[in-house]
Amino acid sequence: MSQPGRERREPPFLSETADVTGLIPRGLRVAAALSWRFIVVIAALWAILWLLGYLSSVVVPVSIALLLSALLAPAVSRLVRWHVPRGLATAIMLIAAIVVLGGLLTFVVTQISSGLPQLQAQLTNSLNQIRDWLINDLHLRQEQIQDFINQAIGFLQNNQSWITSTALTTASTVGEILTGLVLALFVTIFFLAGGEHIWSFLVRGVPNQVRARVNVAGRRGFASLVSYIRATAAVAVVDAVGIGIGLWAVGVPLVVPLATLVFLGAFIPIIGAVVAGGVAVLIALVTKGLIGAVIVLAIVIGVMQLESHILQPLLLGRAVKLHPLAVVLAIAIGLVAAGIAGALLAVPLLAVLNAGIRSLLHEPELDPATIDTLHGRVPEVAEHAREPEPDERGDEEEK
């Protein structure tokens, strides 16, 4: 115990530590604090991305189901407003969507199949013209052409195992895609039939103080997703019309099924446009020769450049209130990070986040029941949105 009258002194090492802390410049302390927080945030983001990649076989179908729900939800809500039960309205719209998509694909397949005999005859003529061009213009001998064909056949025979393994890998990939489509369809049914109840259940996990704001932000995000789907459909129509007019001007047969294929492929970024454009170029090569194929290739490239650099940034940017540069960068980053699935989901994710964050920052006092995010919400859904939560009901009963 210290004696009265004596002043208590701290040990020298404690005072030295305090002095050392005071000697560190304030800017360096702030930079160090920001640095380790930045590292923690980056680590958390990396962990989230790794988990999403690990669960990609589930995340991608659920995301596609959300896109399909955004496409069909306005029509389902309109039917419900016409006093059609929600379950029946969901079944009607899903069956209609399947019939329309299946009808378009069937139309494309039947039209191309019916034109195969003519295409085969024109293919024979084109091959003969190519052979005559090689012999007469390039002065190749028949033996050289046959040797090239034999070398190609020998290459296929020598790499038969690699081709077989690649085919098996492709078959397994196709199986995974079909499984994902079935899962996406299954999830879409529940999103359309009970999406309001699912969202209300998720919102209950948010604290009461910010529950209304989070509810409004989520509904704003879904409205932005609906706008994105509509803008994508408009871009697909422009692609189909532009390439269809070009094919008609060149005189390529099967213009309508090829334009329909372009419309369907436009919903799949990058790969859809490449496949549809490649089919159009091949048919032009068979029917109109090399010059016609080059013209069609130029038309396809021009329309795709118009889509990627003008239509998508402007239409999508206006629909989801994003800057065109943000749309382009989102597609590029999604493609690099997760391939085709990333390119497909990058802009919708950015649109939802942008709308939700804007709502959280600028719409703190709105009533969720007044937000018409589904473009035609029915009265019973609005009443359900205004129902008090269980804890609120308990407070009212106590009062």
What's the CA gap between 8 and 74, in Å, rounded?
76
Q: Is residue 258 part of a domain?
A: yes
More confident residue, 333 or 155: 333
Question: Residue 139: what pLDDT?
Answer: 63
What's the CA gap between 160 and 87, in Å, rounded?
52
133: pLDDT confidence band, cut at 50, 70 and 90?
A: low
381: pLDDT confidence band, cut at 50, 70 and 90?
A: very low
Contact 377, 77 (CB under 8 A): yes
Question: Residue 398: what pLDDT?
Answer: 46
Q: Using CB atoms within 10 A of its CB, is residue 219 exposed (0-12), middle (13-18) or buried (19+)?
A: buried
Question: Residue 195: what pLDDT?
Answer: 83
Q: Is residue 279 part of a domain?
A: yes
CA-derived radius of gyration, the chain: 31
Task: Please give the model's pTM, rounded to 2 decimal places.
Answer: 0.67
The total number of residues shown for the chain amounts to 399
Range with the poorest average pLDDT among 27-31, 297-301, 359-363:
359-363
42: pLDDT confidence band, cut at 50, 70 and 90?
A: very high
* The residue to which tokens 């069609």 are assigned: 296
Q: What is the pLDDT of residues 146-200, one digit of tens each?
A: 666 666 666 655 665 665 555 545 545 666 777 888 888 899 999 988 888 888 8
Q: Is residue 114 part of a domain?
A: no
Question: Residue 158: what pLDDT?
Answer: 66
The share of the chain scoring above pLDDT 90, in percent, equals 5
The share of the chain scoring above pLDDT 70, in percent, equals 69
Provide the number of structural domains found in the chain: 1
Q: Which tokens hold the place of 69?
A: 């729900």
Q: Is residue 169 part of a domain?
A: no
Q: Which of 2, 13, 204, 233 is nearest to 101 (CA)?
A: 233
Q: Is residue 168 part of a domain?
A: no
Q: What is the pLDDT of residues 271-306, one digit of tens each?
A: 677 778 888 888 888 777 778 888 988 988 888 888
What is the pLDDT averaged over residues 45-51?
88
Q: Is residue 74 part of a domain?
A: no
What is the pLDDT averaged over residues 81-108?
88
**Residues 147/148/149/154 CA torsion (nearest 10 deg):** 90
Contact 279, 293 (CB under 8 A): no
Q: Which tokens hold the place of 284?
A: 């032009």
Q: Is residue 341 part of a domain?
A: yes
What's the CA gap between 172 and 170, in Å, rounded?
5
* Residue span of the structural domain in which 313 resides: 227-365
What's the CA gap between 238 and 247, in Å, rounded?
14
Q: Is residue 337 part of a domain?
A: yes
